[in-house]
Amino acid sequence: MFSAKWFEEFVQKKTELPKVIIIYWPTACGKTSLSIKVAKNLETEIIWADSRQIYKLLDIWTGKIKENEKEWIIHHMIDFLNINKDYSVWEYKKETEKLIQELHKKWKIPVICWWTGLYLDSIAFNFQIPEIEPDWKYREELENIRVARWNEYLWQMLFDIDPIYAKELEINNYRYVIRWLEIFKQTWKSKKELKKMLPPKYEILFLNPYDWDREKLYSKINQRIDEMFQEWLIDEVKNILAKWYRKSDYGLNTIWYKEIIDYLEWNITLEESKELIKQHNRNYAKRQLTWFRKYEIK
């Protein structure tokens, strides 16, 4: 939990390692507003850690911060990649560490915020996974299997060889599933075996605004989704697809956009789409609560 005392002690104390502040916990718990508050207090900049907010055009559904909400604070690692481009954890770690170094040269403590666990883990725990070149032929084979037998079958293939990592992934997050099947084919090693833990690189303060009221959190998630529909979420998806992006492109590979596309393709009703989105978002928040327990200060 956020503590002003911890915050002041962290800022003032002398450390051998460069300092970094990480704001975490699940969607809709107030991370964005807390990041603005902290960044203004320290006169610093914010680095985002969200595997969907990196993409251009995905504004409403990803809850991307609006320009008037930034309060003149510089935000990095957001809104810079085309929807049809892939972006790995390795790439995020490399670019973010470069930004951290640049901010420290300006005597600023970087604030890292948002909710993609692997992105945050790569910085917080300084793990490194070797860069593996794509195997496009095998990737195409896996995509054909997915189309023929659908996402659950593909996920089960991963579970059979690497159950620990498979449990971390959504069944519908097939791009990550395909990528790790591809890596396993080349290395014959699980993600845990390939993940190399390096010595700590930063002195980190973990902050979170979550008050452990699960019912209130779920209510806020439902409210946020209703607001997204009021903000023309469906039109946003229509406009993206009208630009010749495919529904299988990397940026659209998320369970929530899938429900919108199902509605647009007349597979489900608008109300069914809303309810599925709310349910899946609540489920995701629950998994986030489990994931981020590792960040808790003892």
Q: For residue range 14-25, what is the model confidence (pLDDT) as tens digits?
A: 999 999 999 987
Distant-in-sequence, close-in-space partners of 29: CB < 8 Å, separation ≥ 6: 208, 209, 210, 211, 217, 220
207 in Cβ contact with 7 (< 8 Å): yes
Tell me the CATH number at 240: 1.10.287.890
Residues 221 and 204 both lie in one domain:
no
- How many domains is the chain partitioned into structurally? 3
Residues 74 and 96 both lie in one domain:
yes
**What confidence tens digit (pLDDT) does each residue in 140-189 have?**
899 899 888 888 899 999 999 998 888 877 777 777 888 889 989 998 88
Chain-centroid distance of CA 204 in Å reads 19
Residues 145 and 114 both lie in one domain:
no
Residues 61 and 202 both lie in one domain:
yes
Tell me the CATH number at 165: 1.10.20.140
**What confidence tens digit (pLDDT) does each residue in 205-252 have?**
988 777 768 888 889 889 989 998 998 889 988 888 888 666 666 656
Tell me the CATH number at 114: 3.40.50.300
Bridge partners (DSSP) of residue 20 are 204
Looking at residue 215, its pLDDT comes to 87
Pairing of strands 203-207, 19-23: parallel
Looking at residue 127, its pLDDT comes to 79
Residues 75 and 143 both lie in one domain:
no
Range of the domain at 185: 136-194
Question: Which alpha helices (DSSP H) does the chain contain, by range?
Answer: 4-12, 31-42, 89-105, 117-124, 136-149, 151-161, 163-166, 174-187, 191-194, 214-230, 233-242, 255-264, 270-291
**What confidence tens digit (pLDDT) does each residue in 107-152 have?**
999 999 977 877 888 898 887 777 788 888 998 899 899 888 888 8
